[in-house]
Structure formats: structure tokens, C-alpha cells
Structure 1
């Protein structure tokens, strides 16, 4: 079911980069790195936990298709992917969207800790070598 006021429900027909029966992908309007994609369910849900069993079973194969597309077009050497779920986690559009972020050598001086950086003081979890 689509929500008429939902941005992602409106964009589903607007030339996705990749799509299947349940999801579509489009480049992020404010990319973190070149090729930053959003994977978005066509059905209006706010969280991962609201996906149906069939949607869940097709999600990771679809993400892998998107990863392959990004590897062909952008040649990244790594990826981060994640979900901002709920206002406290930074979700600004109340429609589930999964960030698939290509990573490149030197795009961050020290990427250790990856997604742990959502809380900057917690990104580093190991002691620095002395």
C-alpha cells in the first residue's frame, strides 16, 4: 500500500536504477560517496521488522544485485550498508530505506570501526598501538 504523502512511495515510478517486484533502488540525493544507493521497499513500511516474509527473503539477493551494479559502475573496494530506523537513529523519512554506501581507499583517513561511527566516541573500540 502506498502513502500519498510519502516521498519514497511517490518516487517508485521515477526511473529506478534497479528494481524487482518488491524493492527499487535509486541514487541518494545527498550521497556520502559516489554511487551511494538507497534500497527502498515498494510497499510502504517504516521499519525492517514490518517486511513480509517474502520481502525479507528477496531483500539480500536484491542488495547483492545492487552491489554488483555499483562494482561495475564505480569500482569501490568496500561497502557500508545500514538503516536509520526511528527518529532517535536519524530516520528522516518514515519509509524504510537501506543505505548501500560504496567505499574507496582514502575516502576517510581512518575508516576503522565503520558503522560504529554513528556514535563518534564509540567508533574506535580497540586500543591504539603504543
Structure 2
């Protein structure tokens, strides 16, 4: 099966630089959920080059600007699933840029990254 992140359709690209692009997640967990993806097919974050990591970081800043204009969130989660055990489904590295909104998850802090492991305190 072909990689869904290689060869993105131009109309799907929300922002880009020389090494990476951003697109909306097709299964968003919140309004404005973006994925930041290197153009080069590489499975995991730790397999990216320094230049790719810096390009990802610059594009994350661009995603924040887009999100502030379009969605006005109250916060953000930014993260990478590395490997199947961590929840990575598509084996082409991608950074989740998830806008967060007050009250989008029950409980005061249940929506943070520590909530990813059931039973672990925040």
C-alpha cells in the first residue's frame, strides 16, 4: 500500500517549506488538528536529519499562526508517536499539532499528554 504522506495533493498542503509540509488531519481530535510531515519518506522522528527537525520546528510555528487566525484555541498539544507501541499507525514520521479548547476534555488537566497512559497521574 502506498504511503499516504508521500506525494501530497497540492490542495491538501496548508503550509510548507523546503523539507516539510503541513496538512489537516483527516481524523482530527479537535478543530484545526494539523500534521507536520517531512517530504522525505522516513519512518521515525529519530531517523530525521537535523535540517528536517529544524524545518519541522519552523513549520510548527507557522501552524500556530494559522491556528490563531482560524481557530483561536486556548492551548496546544504538539507530539510525535514513534513506533507502534507509542501509537504510530503511518510509518512516515509526522508531528501532531493539536489545538486545545477549554472544556474539550472532562476534568481540569485530563487532556494533557500524561493522559495518554491510562492510570498514570498528570
State TM-score, norm by structure 1. Answer: 0.86
Paired residues in the alignment total 121
Paired with 2:100 and 2:108, the residues of 1 have a C-alpha distance of: 9
Q: CA separation in 2, counterparts of 1:84 and 1:21?
A: 23
Distance 1:69 1:18 in 2: 9
Supply the RMSD in Å over aligned alpha carbons: 1.6
Partner secondary structure for residue 5 of structure 2: helix
Q: Which residue of 1 is the match for residue 43 of structure 2? A: 46
Show structure 2 runs of 5+ residues with no match: none
3-state SS in 1 of match to 2:79? strand
* Residue in 2 that maps onto 1:68: 65
Q: CA deviation at 1:12?
A: 5.5
- Most deviating of 9-18 and 44-53: 9-18
Aligned pair 1:88/2:71, yes or no?
A: no
Whether 1:115 and 2:113 are equivalent positions in the alignment is yes
Q: Deviations over 1:47-69 (max 9, x none)?
A: 11111121122221210111111
| Larger-gyration structure (1/2) | 1
TM-score normalised according to structure 2 size = 0.91
